[in-house]
Structure 1
């Protein structure tokens, strides 16, 4: 096959793949990659950092799901300059990372750790020097353990004051260079999995549930934790807007994990159940952030266990986001499943009154994240129609593979091609999407699989004392897309001949 033909026509990807290029996106649309502090930094006991609830969870056995911890992880604490250079070489516009509260303020409140402060200043300055926007998440599931021990962390209202003091330090010290702040990552999943099911830190749940929790109450604590996250976020947003925004001109957002919910039948029961699932998972946070109160269905199904907002709190929470961060991976069929338990005896999942069933296309391995771009578009449309047309950043989206998989990660290339293409479609259909971040930049310590699975664009050899980074095929594909360049002809021929990829035409922009 000739070089020109190989460049122009590649047998590639999924039905419906079409011509798109970086040039189709607005100049302000940002492409990036994401990580979080505990998953990549390492240096867990170095330079004054103290444990977070994630340290405690991993050292206690990760809920008996897998082995490992983030003590060393990808060691970005020591290798941040190398990692920023990888980002620059790839052509990333932005990097989404989180600040470790227990590295910056080791006891959760009180004195600031100067070495932690210097580290984040160094990271931010390195990013800026390479023209990469820092997008900072202030809490990515790693609450300082001291606050959990002192008063129960997010289930106690005291967290609002301490979180506000923590973010005040961040705004003051980093806000001259950071313009995009996300207060909490995946508040909905953090509340459900950490306080109802108990398989994520801080591993709180009722004794009879899935995890072996030593404390907690699955009937009340998910709702308390979520309520205090909303109040803490709103307090942080008010602080930023009144004290910093006029000087720093930044933006405050909140992040949720959006599941796709599809009724398993066209019956009214299942259709209503799918909407109820959306109300419980997304409306749980978006309704207060938009309208100042929880969805009516939650009030009915949860009753007195659902905290209420005062008028002042409602006004504080309402309108407190400048943008919404969405993480998107999985979709489910939904079946109506009324729960006959007494309302006061139920937990969060029972309150939802649905049964969810994995939605996995026939041509997708059960070990892969299924590609459901049309459902992501439906999520974007639903958010716009139900809650308003505020800016949205896709903060996480990615394909998992086994950690020992080949650098030729075909399934991830296919996944990125489809979802980035769907971003162009979303913009054409009027979605107010402002950016797309791949999860994740590096192979790291994954919350549901440790080092046994990977999402990284770069492979990190955890057995190598230097933790060498190696680009996967997906990193090359992403870099070439961002730079408007075709892939290496040899790689493209290999893609064309790869039997794992269905045959469809894909035109490579800027082919010579």
Structure 2
């Protein structure tokens, strides 16, 4: 009889555990994976960028970038001070150490290092980056450096039009040469261009980001041509990247042993009507635009047919120069979108632009206008699977992934939705890796609250809050910082819904006793 009772209790326990698992699975909150499930050497980090973090916009020889003039001329909030990382970088590195980051991704301000974009190097700017990089590596944090994060010097824009002129390729290569020479003994991971596709669309098709060029109605652009300039700029970005990549291979790779990559903004596409044609067109325009030349040496056929003579043409020599020039692809991913094929038509101004050329309507999942992203980890997985299947499975670093919340110093400390988002997407990355994706690293955007390039200080992505009303820019860990730190240190107690609740209780108790 006692044996029967024990057997019944065991069966009841098994049934209860199965029921709990089933409920979690049905709720969409089941979590399976911890840090130790990833391959050895997989890098976990967090990210920022120069304009959004450094501040000190007119100090120590730095001159204006296109972001400075764009925001000042529109009387909008700006990154003049931002997080004051220029002065507080040692404090921030200590937070990275406490969090347990393997790596930190940041960008170099071209305007701080070479104020006019070409010519003399600014010694104080040079020393700042040397000191910052040294601070990182002294604590075992791997620096991942982006050379261009939307912020070329205003001088080059005034002189010859910046990225619409091929002259910038030579200046960008010379700037990269300085970076490789001065920082390359510590930096092994270089990204040339950040979000090349979105930088081009925002700055030259929509005019909503610097340099604010467009010909779309209602955009208040005073110059630009949305039907041609996005494609000209995209072409020049690819040439600039390949020029820098070739320089590194010829002059630095043998002694420094690093790698040079190129990054893209990647949406996960779906269709409410199972419209495979619309999905493929969207992929060709958003990803194939840059990946086609980098992997295969030319633009996708769909783009060439749609854009026609407005799309620049690669000579055979140029195609060979661009093809294979990226050691890795940086993926920036936040969102999923539903697409529907539409009849090709001219934009409202009577001229074609990027969107009319693409020929699909697109709706972001979630409430995009309220800056609320849907938690759709399948989108991350689908992007990585598509890269594997369609572009030869290149090495990938996910250089940005995260979700925004409205800036509120009281509420944002308990940012449980961010934890749920991050864990879902990290699990999706692991699924992709287990399915053969050559993904090698994952970086949370962002390490701390920053000046966000579209929304300013209204919304924040940070693991650490920054009190922008405080002259000292006080940093404070959010619940997500505690969670990510526990994850990085292999602590699985806080995985899943129950673990998050426990983390909340622990954090509340420690806050109440302090």
Distance 1:468 1:359 in 2: 34
Structure 1 gap ranges (5+): 1-8, 499-512
Q: TM-score, normalised by structure 1?
A: 0.90
2:96 aligned residue: 87
Distance 1:58 1:385 in 2: 41
Do the aligned partners of residues 57 and 133 (structure 1) sit closer, same or farther apart at CA in structure 2, a change above 3 Å counting? same
Given the alignment, which residue of 300, 307, 313 partners 2:305? Answer: 300
Matched, 1:57 2:70: yes
Displacement of 1:18: 2.5
**3-state DSSP of counterpart to 1:407:** helix
1:27 aligned residue: 40
Task: Map 1:268-287; keep pairs closer than 5 Å.
Answer: 270-287=275-292
Contact (CA 8 Å) 2:345, 2:359: kept in 1 or not? Answer: no
Contact (CA 8 Å) 2:54, 2:86: kept in 1 or not? Answer: yes
Structure 2 gap ranges (5+): 1-19, 505-514
Deviates more, 1:217-226 or 1:371-380: 371-380
Displacement of 1:332: 1.0
Distance 1:25 1:488 in 2: 17
1:224-258 superposed Cα distances (whole Å, 9 cap, x missing partner):
11000000000000000010000000001000000
1:394-444 superposed Cα distances (whole Å, 9 cap, x missing partner):
100001001114300011111111111112211111111100000001101
Matched, 1:426 2:436: no
Distance 1:71 1:244 in 2: 34
Contact (CA 8 Å) 2:260, 2:327: kept in 1 or not? Answer: yes
Q: Greater RCO between the two (CA within 8 Å, min separation 6)?
A: 1
Task: Map 1:111-510; keep pairs closer than 5 Å.
Answer: 111-206=120-215, 208-266=216-274, 270-341=275-346, 345-360=351-366, 367-404=371-408, 405-485=411-491, 495=501
1:279-322 superposed Cα distances (whole Å, 9 cap, x missing partner):
00100000000111111111111111111111111111000011
Distance 1:327 1:223 in 2: 21
Distance 1:212 1:17 in 2: 47
Deviates more, 1:450-459 or 1:52-61: 52-61
Distance 2:364 2:487 in 1: 31
Distance 1:211 1:487 in 2: 50
Considering only CA atoms, is the larger Rg found in Structure 1 or Structure 2? 2
1:38 aligned residue: 51
Distance 2:319 2:294 in 1: 9
Do the aligned partners of residues 29 and 488 (structure 1) sit closer, same or farther apart at CA in structure 2, a change above 3 Å counting? closer
Contact (CA 8 Å) 1:336, 1:354: kept in 2 or not? Answer: yes
**3-state DSSP of counterpart to 2:412:** coil
Do the aligned partners of residues 310 and 93 (structure 1) sit closer, same or farther apart at CA in structure 2, a change above 3 Å counting? same
Distance 1:33 1:456 in 2: 9
Contact (CA 8 Å) 1:219, 1:344: kept in 2 or not? Answer: no
Contact (CA 8 Å) 2:48, 2:105: kept in 1 or not? Answer: yes
Contact (CA 8 Å) 1:258, 1:282: kept in 2 or not? Answer: yes
Displacement of 1:464: 0.7
Contact (CA 8 Å) 2:103, 2:142: kept in 1 or not? Answer: yes
1:355-387 superposed Cα distances (whole Å, 9 cap, x missing partner):
1122239xx995422111112111111111111
